[in-house]
Structure 1
Amino acid sequence: MGHTAKLTVCIPCFNEERYIGEAIESVFRQDYRDFVILVVDDGSTDGTLKALKRYADPRVAIHRNRENLGLYQNLNRCLALSNTPYIKILCADDVLAPKCLEEQVAVLERFPGVSLVFGSSEVVDSVGRRLVTRRFSNRSQRIQGRRLVRTILSSARNPIGEPSGTMFRMSVVEAGRLHFRVEKFRHMADLDFWIQLLEHGDGYSIDKTLFSFRIHKSAGTTKLLKRSISEHQLLQAEYAERHPMNRFESLFVQAKSVGYFLGKLAFIRLFAR
């Protein structure tokens, strides 16, 4: 992308004609303006591309994959096509709060040792009805990378949150040759990617609602539940040597993960439309 902006907002999408416009408009409403938008379409077969034609703006670049790659490989394509110091992911059915970019860029500018910044989210259903607010803690704070990795591995869930809540440094990605390891993790490649970033720097949690995350019924299946539990155990094993836990801790986390994912399944089935 031939632009000297400081930030790329990467929007991976597949068959999102219903929501893609709302996502892009939420970027245009940002108080922070030094950005470009990169939309990477993963072979949509609905009206997504037609919806994107409305945005004839020099800050918007649209790339279409020749074949469907899947979400995480599409995120890797986003990284490969970006060349700005900071990267913001925005899933095509999510919406940013107006000060999201300003808040997150300010942290990365102030703290060079922070590789990943994330914030609270407002969970909404398919029609935008507010359901619950998810937050990491009740205060904004810088957290040592190794300590945050330990929190992730022992929490039995994803305390960082969804991709749309994050912003990170491209220099860390390039220096560590980091990527979403879909060859290892089919459903938790994002959580694995956050850990990769945190092994190269600190994290920063902003205790403000920075985006709205949309849930869908398709995420509330028993099959996905079983895969999520299995992959969380795989994630523990992947990092066991560098971030060890004793057997009791490991078994306790596995038990917690079953409870967490069962609760998540029930929540989605109850509230998603």
Structure 2
Amino acid sequence: MKNPKVSVIMPVYNAEKYLKDAIESILNQTFLNFELLIINDGSTDKSRTIIESYNDPRIRLLNNKENSGLAKVRNRGIDEAKAEYIAWLDADDISHPLRLEKQVKLLDEHPEIGICGTWVKTIGTKRNHKWRYPTNPDFIRCRMLFDDPLATSSVMLRKELLVEDNQYFDLNYPPAEDYDLWERLSYCCKITNIPKILTFYRLHENQTSKMNALQQKSSVWNVQERQIKRLNILYSDNEKQIHRKIGAWQFDESKYFVSLANLWLLKLQKTNSEKHVYPEPAFTNVLAERWFFVCRGATGLGRITWSMYWNSPLRKHSEFYKHIYLFAKCIIKWES
């Protein structure tokens, strides 16, 4: 492929168990003008043999003699990619046949969008979980303060975003280098997700995020901390722990936790109203979403949680059905 529209970059390291499914999910795309750039990162299993068994001109194989790590492999893929758009797919995940077609269409029609992900469905050890990522670009940028609203195996982006500003995966953020990159790029372009399940994300015991969980938590916090510093907020140890838990969707069923979470979220809101770091009303809507889930995780406290939820100014920025849902959950505990 001399002039492909899309370069699909697939890093591979000892992925023989799932590799064939990943490769064929790209070869079977309805969109045809792509190259599949597979980088074999020093695999010691049968991965290279599996790749070389395909006789398809759209496949381009690069072999690393030794394992260099995911971030370096992805960066090599950026440099080697020939196309206008770069799409990512890990060797244990699967793309829906319409994925590339849908994403190319969106990027072609919306030049203001620089990065496009999709909704995701899990396969493997925990099947059929649906990850409905946000689609509003302002909301996505604001949510970066708490977590990564993109699945890397679903992402397609404009190559020029990376090479013109020298934006690469930072080796200092493993294995959250993708979260770090998306957050940096959110200041350069708009980001969206197609609200359709076009990516299938495999959950299994040997994936990088599980094997390096502690390192990932540290890197995730580093991305979040630099955003808090942009707000010029001095945070306490308690506030740090509250933010990390809220960001990881971990909520304690205690009055103390709910109270501290409310104070921290309101502090973020107040500071942003003064500093104008994040766009409104998206930022307050993100805070309100987290506030709802904090309280949902504490419905066992009954009337205490309901009273704290209702008395917080953030409640005013949640949808009415959430009020009804939370009240019903709390009243059941209250009466029991």
> What TM-score, normalized by structure 2, do the two folds share?
0.68
Aligned to 1:158: 148
Runs of 5+ unmatched residues, structure 2: 253-336
| Compared CA separation, residues 220 and 58, structure 1 to 2 (3 A) | closer
| Compared CA separation, residues 261 and 63, structure 1 to 2 (3 A) | farther
| Compared CA separation, residues 244 and 24, structure 1 to 2 (3 A) | farther
Matched, 1:76 2:65: no
Q: Pick which of 232-241 and 57-66 moved more.
A: 232-241
State the secondary structure of the residue aligned to 2:87.
strand
Of 157, 161, 173 in structure 1, the residue corresponding to residue 162 of structure 2 is 173
CA contact (8 A) 2:245 2:251 kept: no
CA contact (8 A) 2:4 2:82 kept: no
| Compared CA separation, residues 18 and 224, structure 1 to 2 (3 A) | closer
Aligned to 2:39: 40
Runs of 5+ unmatched residues, structure 1: 263-273
CA contact (8 A) 1:229 1:257 kept: no
Of 183, 189, 196 in structure 2, the residue corresponding to residue 201 of structure 1 is 189
Distance 1:73 1:11 in 2: 13
Q: CA RMSD in A?
A: 2.5
Matched, 1:225 2:219: no
Matched, 1:58 2:57: yes
Matching of residues 184-199 of structure 1 within 5 Å: 184-199=172-187
| Compared CA separation, residues 22 and 68, structure 1 to 2 (3 A) | same
| Compared CA separation, residues 120 and 245, structure 1 to 2 (3 A) | farther
Of 131, 134, 147 in structure 1, the residue corresponding to residue 131 of structure 2 is 134
CA contact (8 A) 1:150 1:243 kept: no
Distance 1:26 1:260 in 2: 34
Q: How big is the shift at 1:20?
A: 1.4
Distance 1:258 1:238 in 2: 17
Q: Which of the two has greater strand per residue?
A: 1
- Residues 116-141 of structure 1 deviation map (CA, whole Å, 9 limit, x = unaligned): 10111111116xx733111114xxx4
- Residues 169-222 of structure 1 deviation map (CA, whole Å, 9 limit, x = unaligned): 00111111011101x211210101111222210011211001111111235998
Aligned to 1:254: 244
Give the letter for the 1:208 counterpart.
K
Give the letter for the 1:165 counterpart.
S
| Compared CA separation, residues 151 and 50, structure 1 to 2 (3 A) | same
Q: Which of the two has greater helix per residue?
A: 2
Aligned to 1:148: 140
Distance 2:45 2:140 in 1: 40
Greater relative CO (CA pairs within 8 A, separation 6+): 1
State the secondary structure of the residue aligned to 2:43.
coil
Aligned to 1:267: none
Q: Pick which of 240-249 and 28-37 moved more.
A: 240-249
Give the letter for the 2:179 counterpart.
L
| Compared CA separation, residues 143 and 71, structure 1 to 2 (3 A) | same
Distance 1:93 1:222 in 2: 14
Q: How big is the shift at 1:29?
A: 1.4
Distance 2:243 2:228 in 1: 13
CA contact (8 A) 2:175 2:208 kept: no
> What TM-score, normalized by structure 1, do the two folds share?
0.83
Aligned to 1:211: 199
Give the letter for the 1:187 counterpart.
P
Q: How big is the shift at 1:251?
A: 5.2
